[in-house]
Chain A
Protein backbone atom coordinates (compact mmCIF):
# COMPACT_ATOMS: atom_id res chain seq x y z
CA UNK A 1 0.00 0.00 0.00
CA UNK A 2 2.84 2.34 0.93
CA UNK A 3 4.66 1.36 -2.22
CA UNK A 4 1.54 2.10 -4.25
CA UNK A 5 1.17 5.50 -2.57
CA UNK A 6 4.81 6.23 -3.34
CA UNK A 7 4.30 5.32 -7.00
CA UNK A 8 1.23 7.53 -7.17
CA UNK A 9 3.17 10.47 -5.74
CA UNK A 10 5.99 9.77 -8.17
CA UNK A 11 3.49 9.82 -11.04
CA UNK A 12 2.00 13.09 -9.82
CA UNK A 13 5.46 14.61 -9.85
CA UNK A 14 5.87 14.21 -13.61
CA UNK A 15 6.60 16.34 -15.58
CA UNK A 16 9.77 17.43 -13.80
CA UNK A 17 9.37 20.47 -11.56
CA UNK A 18 10.14 23.86 -12.93
CA UNK A 19 10.74 27.39 -11.80
CA UNK A 20 8.07 29.92 -12.72
CA UNK A 21 7.98 30.30 -16.49
CA UNK A 22 11.11 32.18 -17.51
CA UNK A 23 10.21 35.65 -18.67
CA UNK A 24 10.06 36.06 -22.41
CA UNK A 25 13.03 37.76 -23.98
CA UNK A 26 12.85 41.46 -23.06
CA UNK A 27 9.65 40.78 -21.10
CA UNK A 28 8.49 41.93 -17.70
CA UNK A 29 10.02 39.13 -15.62
CA UNK A 30 10.92 38.36 -12.02
CA UNK A 31 13.81 40.83 -11.95
CA UNK A 32 11.70 43.67 -13.38
CA UNK A 33 8.84 42.93 -10.96
CA UNK A 34 11.25 42.84 -7.99
CA UNK A 35 12.87 46.09 -9.09
CA UNK A 36 9.58 47.97 -9.57
CA UNK A 37 8.23 46.88 -6.17
CA UNK A 38 11.50 47.79 -4.49
CA UNK A 39 11.71 51.19 -6.24
CA UNK A 40 8.13 52.07 -5.24
CA UNK A 41 8.83 51.15 -1.61
CA UNK A 42 12.06 53.16 -1.67
CA UNK A 43 10.56 56.27 -3.30
CA UNK A 44 7.50 56.27 -1.02
CA UNK A 45 9.69 56.06 2.07
CA UNK A 46 12.12 58.66 0.67
CA UNK A 47 9.22 61.09 0.21
CA UNK A 48 8.63 61.02 3.98
CA UNK A 49 12.21 62.24 4.39
CA UNK A 50 12.09 64.70 1.50
CA UNK A 51 8.88 66.22 2.89
CA UNK A 52 11.15 67.59 5.65
CA UNK A 53 13.18 69.53 3.09
CA UNK A 54 12.22 72.64 1.16
CA UNK A 55 13.26 71.13 -2.17
CA UNK A 56 10.25 70.96 -4.47
CA UNK A 57 12.33 69.33 -7.19
CA UNK A 58 13.34 66.32 -5.14
CA UNK A 59 9.73 65.65 -4.18
CA UNK A 60 8.45 66.22 -7.70
CA UNK A 61 11.04 63.85 -9.17
CA UNK A 62 10.09 61.08 -6.75
CA UNK A 63 6.40 61.57 -7.53
CA UNK A 64 7.05 61.44 -11.29
CA UNK A 65 9.00 58.21 -10.78
CA UNK A 66 6.24 56.70 -8.65
CA UNK A 67 3.65 57.41 -11.35
CA UNK A 68 5.84 55.73 -13.99
CA UNK A 69 6.67 52.77 -11.74
CA UNK A 70 3.02 52.14 -10.90
CA UNK A 71 2.20 51.94 -14.62
CA UNK A 72 4.60 48.98 -14.87
CA UNK A 73 2.91 46.89 -12.15
CA UNK A 74 1.22 43.75 -13.44
CA UNK A 75 -0.40 42.87 -10.10
CA UNK A 76 -1.66 44.78 -7.06
CA UNK A 77 1.27 46.46 -5.34
CA UNK A 78 2.54 44.85 -2.16
CA UNK A 79 5.25 46.51 -0.09
CA UNK A 80 7.69 43.69 0.63
CA UNK A 81 10.30 45.94 2.17
CA UNK A 82 8.50 48.06 4.79
CA UNK A 83 10.62 48.49 7.91
CA UNK A 84 13.69 46.97 6.27
CA UNK A 85 17.12 48.56 6.19
CA UNK A 86 17.34 48.78 2.40
CA UNK A 87 19.93 50.73 0.44
CA UNK A 88 18.56 54.14 -0.48
CA UNK A 89 15.51 53.76 1.75
CA UNK A 90 15.58 55.97 4.86
CA UNK A 91 14.43 54.15 7.99
CA UNK A 92 11.67 55.47 10.27
CA UNK A 93 14.33 56.15 12.93
CA UNK A 94 16.37 58.21 10.47
CA UNK A 95 13.31 60.21 9.41
CA UNK A 96 12.49 60.90 13.04
CA UNK A 97 16.03 62.07 13.75
CA UNK A 98 16.08 64.18 10.59
CA UNK A 99 12.88 65.94 11.68
CA UNK A 100 14.76 67.68 14.49
CA UNK A 101 18.32 67.72 13.18
CA UNK A 102 19.11 69.67 9.96
CA UNK A 103 22.58 68.12 9.62
CA UNK A 104 21.13 64.63 9.85
CA UNK A 105 18.47 65.57 7.30
CA UNK A 106 21.12 66.72 4.86
CA UNK A 107 23.18 63.57 5.40
CA UNK A 108 20.22 61.19 5.04
CA UNK A 109 19.00 62.88 1.86
CA UNK A 110 22.46 62.48 0.38
CA UNK A 111 22.64 58.84 1.48
CA UNK A 112 19.24 58.20 -0.11
CA UNK A 113 20.56 59.58 -3.40
CA UNK A 114 23.97 57.89 -3.43
CA UNK A 115 22.70 54.49 -2.31
CA UNK A 116 19.71 54.40 -4.63
CA UNK A 117 21.99 55.45 -7.48
CA UNK A 118 24.15 52.41 -6.72
CA UNK A 119 21.07 50.18 -6.85
CA UNK A 120 20.07 51.72 -10.20
CA UNK A 121 23.55 51.15 -11.61
CA UNK A 122 23.27 47.51 -10.55
CA UNK A 123 19.75 47.19 -11.96
CA UNK A 124 20.71 48.71 -15.33
CA UNK A 125 22.34 45.67 -16.93
CA UNK A 126 19.96 43.24 -15.16
CA UNK A 127 16.77 44.76 -16.60
CA UNK A 128 15.97 43.88 -20.20
CA UNK A 129 12.31 44.96 -20.44
CA UNK A 130 12.51 48.24 -22.40
CA UNK A 131 9.73 50.19 -20.57
CA UNK A 132 11.23 49.26 -17.19
CA UNK A 133 14.72 50.09 -18.43
CA UNK A 134 13.42 53.55 -19.41
CA UNK A 135 12.25 54.20 -15.85
CA UNK A 136 15.60 52.98 -14.50
CA UNK A 137 17.28 55.51 -16.79
CA UNK A 138 14.91 58.27 -15.71
CA UNK A 139 15.65 57.55 -12.04
CA UNK A 140 19.38 57.41 -12.70
CA UNK A 141 19.24 60.76 -14.50
CA UNK A 142 17.24 62.32 -11.66
CA UNK A 143 19.68 61.24 -8.98
CA UNK A 144 22.77 62.20 -10.93
CA UNK A 145 21.36 65.71 -11.39
CA UNK A 146 20.17 65.95 -7.78
CA UNK A 147 23.60 65.00 -6.46
CA UNK A 148 25.30 67.46 -8.81
CA UNK A 149 23.00 70.22 -7.52
CA UNK A 150 24.29 69.41 -4.04
Chain B
Protein backbone atom coordinates (compact mmCIF):
# COMPACT_ATOMS: atom_id res chain seq x y z
CA UNK B 1 0.00 0.00 0.00
CA UNK B 2 2.85 2.44 0.68
CA UNK B 3 4.41 2.11 -2.72
CA UNK B 4 1.56 3.71 -4.71
CA UNK B 5 1.44 6.56 -2.19
CA UNK B 6 5.12 7.13 -2.66
CA UNK B 7 4.57 7.23 -6.40
CA UNK B 8 1.84 9.83 -6.06
CA UNK B 9 4.04 11.99 -3.88
CA UNK B 10 6.89 11.67 -6.35
CA UNK B 11 4.65 12.57 -9.28
CA UNK B 12 3.27 15.60 -7.45
CA UNK B 13 6.82 16.67 -6.69
CA UNK B 14 7.81 16.30 -10.35
CA UNK B 15 4.77 18.28 -11.52
CA UNK B 16 5.49 20.98 -8.96
CA UNK B 17 9.11 21.15 -10.07
CA UNK B 18 8.06 21.42 -13.70
CA UNK B 19 5.68 24.26 -12.81
CA UNK B 20 8.31 25.96 -10.65
CA UNK B 21 6.07 25.75 -7.60
CA UNK B 22 8.21 25.89 -4.49
CA UNK B 23 7.85 22.64 -2.58
CA UNK B 24 8.89 22.95 1.01
CA UNK B 25 10.18 19.93 2.80
CA UNK B 26 8.27 19.55 6.03
CA UNK B 27 9.25 22.23 8.51
CA UNK B 28 11.12 24.32 5.97
CA UNK B 29 9.65 27.69 5.07
CA UNK B 30 8.81 28.56 1.46
CA UNK B 31 11.44 30.89 0.03
CA UNK B 32 9.12 33.54 -1.32
CA UNK B 33 9.23 37.01 0.23
CA UNK B 34 5.59 37.57 1.10
CA UNK B 35 3.08 38.56 3.73
CA UNK B 36 -0.56 39.38 3.14
CA UNK B 37 -3.82 40.88 4.30
CA UNK B 38 -7.26 39.80 3.12
CA UNK B 39 -9.85 42.55 3.44
CA UNK B 40 -13.40 42.11 2.09
CA UNK B 41 -15.46 45.07 0.95
CA UNK B 42 -16.23 47.35 3.88
CA UNK B 43 -18.35 50.06 2.26
CA UNK B 44 -19.07 51.91 -0.96
CA UNK B 45 -18.97 55.71 -1.32
CA UNK B 46 -18.64 58.39 -3.99
CA UNK B 47 -15.59 59.62 -2.07
CA UNK B 48 -11.84 59.69 -2.67
CA UNK B 49 -9.73 60.99 0.22
CA UNK B 50 -6.58 61.18 -1.95
CA UNK B 51 -7.82 62.60 -5.28
CA UNK B 52 -10.77 64.66 -3.97
CA UNK B 53 -9.91 65.38 -0.31
CA UNK B 54 -12.79 66.70 1.81
CA UNK B 55 -15.19 66.66 -1.17
CA UNK B 56 -17.76 64.11 0.03
CA UNK B 57 -19.93 62.68 -2.73
CA UNK B 58 -17.89 64.32 -5.49
CA UNK B 59 -16.14 61.23 -6.86
CA UNK B 60 -17.06 58.25 -8.95
CA UNK B 61 -18.06 55.31 -6.75
CA UNK B 62 -15.35 53.35 -4.97
CA UNK B 63 -15.40 50.05 -3.13
CA UNK B 64 -13.49 50.50 0.14
CA UNK B 65 -11.62 47.67 1.88
CA UNK B 66 -10.03 47.51 5.31
CA UNK B 67 -10.57 50.54 7.53
CA UNK B 68 -14.30 51.00 8.18
CA UNK B 69 -14.08 54.77 8.64
CA UNK B 70 -12.60 55.81 5.27
CA UNK B 71 -14.38 58.72 3.62
CA UNK B 72 -13.53 61.95 1.78
CA UNK B 73 -12.25 63.56 4.96
CA UNK B 74 -9.99 60.72 6.07
CA UNK B 75 -6.52 61.56 7.29
CA UNK B 76 -3.82 59.52 8.96
CA UNK B 77 -5.09 60.83 12.29
CA UNK B 78 -8.72 59.93 11.57
CA UNK B 79 -7.91 56.40 10.38
CA UNK B 80 -5.68 55.40 13.27
CA UNK B 81 -7.58 54.04 16.22
CA UNK B 82 -10.45 52.93 14.01
CA UNK B 83 -11.10 49.29 13.15
CA UNK B 84 -11.19 47.50 9.82
CA UNK B 85 -12.16 44.16 8.35
CA UNK B 86 -8.78 42.79 7.33
CA UNK B 87 -7.29 39.46 8.28
CA UNK B 88 -5.06 40.23 10.15
CA UNK B 89 -7.19 42.64 12.20
CA UNK B 90 -4.04 44.62 12.99
CA UNK B 91 -4.04 45.99 9.44
CA UNK B 92 -6.37 48.98 9.61
CA UNK B 93 -5.05 50.43 6.36
CA UNK B 94 -7.46 51.74 3.78
CA UNK B 95 -7.63 50.42 0.23
CA UNK B 96 -10.07 51.35 -2.54
CA UNK B 97 -10.87 50.72 -6.20
CA UNK B 98 -13.51 51.98 -8.66
CA UNK B 99 -16.80 50.09 -8.37
CA UNK B 100 -17.45 47.44 -11.05
CA UNK B 101 -20.85 47.45 -12.74
CA UNK B 102 -22.75 45.15 -15.08
CA UNK B 103 -24.97 47.75 -16.75
CA UNK B 104 -26.13 49.70 -13.70
CA UNK B 105 -25.80 46.95 -11.11
CA UNK B 106 -22.77 47.24 -8.84
CA UNK B 107 -20.80 44.02 -8.32
CA UNK B 108 -18.64 43.65 -5.22
CA UNK B 109 -15.50 41.53 -5.35
CA UNK B 110 -15.78 38.38 -3.24
CA UNK B 111 -12.04 37.77 -2.95
CA UNK B 112 -9.78 40.66 -1.97
CA UNK B 113 -6.13 39.99 -1.16
CA UNK B 114 -3.30 42.45 -0.65
CA UNK B 115 0.08 40.78 -1.01
CA UNK B 116 3.18 42.54 0.24
CA UNK B 117 6.08 41.15 -1.76
CA UNK B 118 9.85 41.29 -1.85
CA UNK B 119 10.01 40.72 -5.60
CA UNK B 120 10.96 43.32 -8.19
CA UNK B 121 14.19 44.33 -6.47
CA UNK B 122 17.40 42.31 -6.43
CA UNK B 123 18.16 43.05 -2.79
CA UNK B 124 15.15 42.22 -0.61
CA UNK B 125 17.34 42.59 2.49
CA UNK B 126 17.28 46.36 1.90
CA UNK B 127 13.48 46.65 1.88
CA UNK B 128 12.29 49.16 4.47
CA UNK B 129 8.86 49.19 6.15
CA UNK B 130 6.22 51.13 4.21
CA UNK B 131 6.23 54.59 5.84
CA UNK B 132 3.32 55.21 8.18
CA UNK B 133 0.76 57.44 6.44
CA UNK B 134 2.11 56.80 2.92
CA UNK B 135 -0.47 57.21 0.15
CA UNK B 136 0.01 55.29 -3.10
CA UNK B 137 -2.07 55.30 -6.27
CA UNK B 138 -1.51 52.58 -8.88
CA UNK B 139 -2.97 52.15 -12.34
CA UNK B 140 -4.25 54.85 -14.68
CA UNK B 141 -7.82 56.03 -14.10
CA UNK B 142 -7.44 58.09 -17.29
CA UNK B 143 -6.29 55.24 -19.53
CA UNK B 144 -7.65 55.52 -23.05
CA UNK B 145 -6.51 52.11 -24.29
CA UNK B 146 -3.93 49.37 -23.74
CA UNK B 147 -0.93 51.60 -24.35
CA UNK B 148 -1.39 53.76 -21.26
CA UNK B 149 -2.76 51.04 -18.97
CA UNK B 150 -1.12 48.60 -16.56
CA UNK B 151 -4.39 46.81 -15.74
CA UNK B 152 -4.47 43.01 -15.91
CA UNK B 153 -7.67 41.00 -16.14
CA UNK B 154 -7.75 37.21 -16.19
CA UNK B 155 -9.86 34.26 -15.07
CA UNK B 156 -9.48 32.32 -11.83
CA UNK B 157 -9.30 28.58 -12.62
CA UNK B 158 -9.09 29.22 -16.37
CA UNK B 159 -5.42 29.84 -17.07
CA UNK B 160 -5.93 29.16 -20.76
CA UNK B 161 -7.76 32.49 -21.14
CA UNK B 162 -5.08 35.00 -22.04
CA UNK B 163 -4.80 37.94 -19.64
CA UNK B 164 -5.79 41.31 -21.06
CA UNK B 165 -5.71 44.97 -20.05
CA UNK B 166 -9.48 45.04 -20.55
CA UNK B 167 -12.20 42.69 -19.28
CA UNK B 168 -11.95 39.07 -20.47
CA UNK B 169 -14.68 36.51 -21.09
CA UNK B 170 -14.33 33.89 -18.35
CA UNK B 171 -15.80 30.40 -18.84
CA UNK B 172 -18.75 29.25 -16.73
CA UNK B 173 -17.63 28.11 -13.30
CA UNK B 174 -14.68 30.52 -13.21
CA UNK B 175 -14.30 34.07 -11.90
CA UNK B 176 -13.08 37.32 -13.34
CA UNK B 177 -9.95 38.50 -11.53
CA UNK B 178 -7.71 41.52 -11.70
CA UNK B 179 -4.15 42.17 -10.52
CA UNK B 180 -2.60 45.53 -9.79
CA UNK B 181 1.02 46.10 -8.77
CA UNK B 182 1.76 49.30 -6.83
CA UNK B 183 5.05 51.20 -7.21
CA UNK B 184 7.60 50.13 -4.58
CA UNK B 185 10.30 52.82 -4.64
CA UNK B 186 9.79 55.86 -2.39
CA UNK B 187 11.46 59.27 -2.62
CA UNK B 188 12.27 59.07 1.08
CA UNK B 189 10.61 62.41 1.87
CA UNK B 190 6.96 62.78 0.87
CA UNK B 191 3.94 60.74 1.95
CA UNK B 192 1.95 62.13 -1.02
CA UNK B 193 2.52 64.50 -3.94
CA UNK B 194 0.41 66.93 -5.94
CA UNK B 195 -0.22 64.37 -8.68
CA UNK B 196 -0.33 61.59 -6.03
CA UNK B 197 2.25 59.65 -8.08
CA UNK B 198 5.59 61.43 -8.28
CA UNK B 199 6.69 60.54 -4.73
CA UNK B 200 6.71 56.87 -5.82
CA UNK B 201 8.29 54.97 -8.70
CA UNK B 202 8.57 51.48 -10.06
CA UNK B 203 11.99 49.82 -9.83
CA UNK B 204 14.40 49.96 -12.75
CA UNK B 205 16.45 46.88 -13.62
CA UNK B 206 15.96 45.29 -10.22
CA UNK B 207 16.69 48.37 -8.14
CA UNK B 208 15.17 51.60 -6.94
CA UNK B 209 16.34 54.65 -8.96
CA UNK B 210 18.36 57.41 -7.28
CA UNK B 211 15.31 59.72 -7.45
CA UNK B 212 13.32 57.21 -5.36
CA UNK B 213 16.02 55.36 -3.43
CA UNK B 214 13.99 53.74 -0.65
CA UNK B 215 12.81 50.21 -1.39
CA UNK B 216 9.45 49.41 0.29
CA UNK B 217 7.25 46.30 0.03
CA UNK B 218 5.64 45.77 -3.36
CA UNK B 219 1.88 45.86 -2.86
CA UNK B 220 -0.02 43.56 -5.22
CA UNK B 221 -3.80 43.76 -5.13
CA UNK B 222 -5.74 40.72 -6.34
CA UNK B 223 -9.52 41.08 -6.69
CA UNK B 224 -11.91 38.29 -7.66
CA UNK B 225 -15.39 39.13 -8.89
CA UNK B 226 -18.38 36.76 -9.11
CA UNK B 227 -18.54 37.41 -12.84
CA UNK B 228 -18.14 35.18 -15.88
CA UNK B 229 -19.47 34.93 -19.40
CA UNK B 230 -19.92 37.88 -21.72
CA UNK B 231 -18.19 41.15 -20.96
CA UNK B 232 -21.18 43.04 -22.37
CA UNK B 233 -22.30 45.80 -20.02
CA UNK B 234 -19.24 45.50 -17.77
CA UNK B 235 -17.72 48.83 -16.78
CA UNK B 236 -15.82 50.41 -13.96
CA UNK B 237 -16.94 53.68 -12.38
CA UNK B 238 -13.82 55.06 -14.08
CA UNK B 239 -14.60 53.56 -17.51
CA UNK B 240 -13.23 50.52 -19.33
CA UNK B 241 -11.27 47.71 -17.69
CA UNK B 242 -8.07 49.49 -18.71
CA UNK B 243 -8.87 52.28 -16.22
CA UNK B 244 -8.59 49.93 -13.23
CA UNK B 245 -6.73 51.74 -10.46
CA UNK B 246 -6.18 51.27 -6.78
CA UNK B 247 -5.47 53.53 -3.83
CA UNK B 248 -3.65 52.64 -0.63
CA UNK B 249 -3.42 54.66 2.58
CA UNK B 250 -0.99 52.94 4.93
CA UNK B 251 -1.93 52.84 8.59
CA UNK B 252 -0.50 49.43 9.46
CA UNK B 253 0.68 49.78 13.07
CA UNK B 254 4.40 50.51 12.74
CA UNK B 255 5.54 47.52 14.80
CA UNK B 256 3.35 45.08 12.83
CA UNK B 257 4.69 46.36 9.50
CA UNK B 258 8.30 46.36 10.71
CA UNK B 259 8.07 42.82 12.06
CA UNK B 260 6.69 41.48 8.77
CA UNK B 261 9.28 43.26 6.63
CA UNK B 262 12.07 41.91 8.83
CA UNK B 263 10.75 38.35 9.26
CA UNK B 264 9.17 37.77 5.83
CA UNK B 265 10.58 40.08 3.14
CA UNK B 266 14.17 40.80 4.20
CA UNK B 267 14.85 37.09 4.68
CA UNK B 268 12.67 35.92 1.74
CA UNK B 269 10.14 33.76 3.56
CA UNK B 270 6.43 33.26 2.90
CA UNK B 271 4.46 34.31 5.95
CA UNK B 272 0.84 33.76 6.96
CA UNK B 273 -1.75 36.39 7.86
CA UNK B 274 -0.14 36.91 11.22
CA UNK B 275 3.28 37.46 9.75
CA UNK B 276 4.55 34.10 10.96
CA UNK B 277 6.02 31.15 9.09
CA UNK B 278 6.36 27.40 9.58
Interface residues on A, range: 20 to 34
On chain A, the residues within 8 Å of B238 by CB distance are 83-85
Q: Which residues of A sit under 8 angstroms from B194, Cβ to Cβ?
A: 20, 30, 33, 75
Does B125 count as interface, using CB distance less than 8 angstroms? yes
- Given the complex, which residues of B lie within 8 Å of A82, measured CB to CB? 142
The answer to whether A17 and B133 have CB atoms under 8 Å apart is: yes
Of A54-62, A96-104, A118-126, A142-150, the stretch lying at the interface with chain B is: A118-126
Q: Mark B187-217, 1 if CB is under 8 A from A, else 0.
A: 0111111100000000000000000011000
The verdict on A19 contacting chain B, using a C-beta distance below 8 Å, is yes
Which of B51, B192, B214 is within 8 Å of A20, CB to CB?
B192
Nearest-Cβ distance from residue B201 to partner chain A, whole angstroms: 15
> B-facing mask of A97-133, CB < 8 A → 1, else 0?
0000000000000000000001100110010000000
CA distance A9 to B141 in the complex (A): 33
**Chain B contacts of A123 at CB under 8 A?**
55, 58
Q: A12: which B residues are within 8 A, CB to CB? A: 188, 213-214
B268 to chain A, nearest CB (A): 14
Known: A38-B58, A123-B55. A83 touches B243 (CB 8 A): yes
Verify if A67 is at the interface (C-beta below 8 Å from B): no
Whether the pair B55, A19 counts as a contact (CB closer than 8 A) is no
Within 8 A of B (CB), among A1-42: 2, 5-6, 9, 12-13, 17-20, 30-31, 33-35, 38
Q: Is the interface of B mostly helix, strand, loop or mixed?
A: loop
Q: Which residue of chain A has the shortest Cβ distance to B144 in the bound complex?
A: A83
**Inter-chain contacts of B213 with A (CB < 8 A):** 9, 12
Chain B residues bordering chain A, tally (CB within 8 A)? 39
Query: Are B190 and A126 in contact, with the CB atoms below 8 A?
Result: no
Q: How far is the CA of A81 from the CA of B62 in the complex (A)?
A: 14
CA distance A3 to B65 in the complex (A): 36
Query: With contacts A5-B126, A9-B128, A84-B238 known, is A20 near B58, CB below 8 A?
Result: no
Does B90 sit within 8 A of A, measured CB to CB?
Answer: no
* Interfacial residues of chain B within 232-253, with CB under 8 A of chain A in the complex: 235, 237-240, 243
Q: List residues of chain B with CB within 8 A of the CB of A5.
A: 126
Task: Choose one: B57, B60, B72, B142; the contact of A85 (CB below 8 Å).
Answer: B60
Residue pair B54, A126 in contact (C-beta under 8 Å): yes
Which chain A residues lie closer than 8 Å to B64 at the CB level?
none
A17-B189, A17-B191, A34-B52 known; A87-B58 Cβ under 8 A = yes
Q: For A138, what are the chain B residues with a Cβ–Cβ distance below 8 Å?
A: none
Contact sample, A vs B, 14 pairs, CB 8 Å cutoff: A2-B126, A9-B128, A9-B214, A12-B188, A17-B191, A20-B190, A20-B193, A33-B194, A34-B53, A80-B142, A84-B243, A85-B60, A86-B59, A123-B58
User: Measuring CB to CB, which residues of chain A are less than 8 angstroms from any residue of chain B?
Assistant: 2, 5-6, 9, 12-13, 17-20, 30-31, 33-35, 38, 75, 79-87, 118-119, 122-123, 126
A-contacting residues of B (Cβ < 8 Å)? 46, 51-61, 72-73, 98, 125-126, 128, 131, 133-134, 141-142, 144, 188-194, 213-214, 235, 237-240, 243
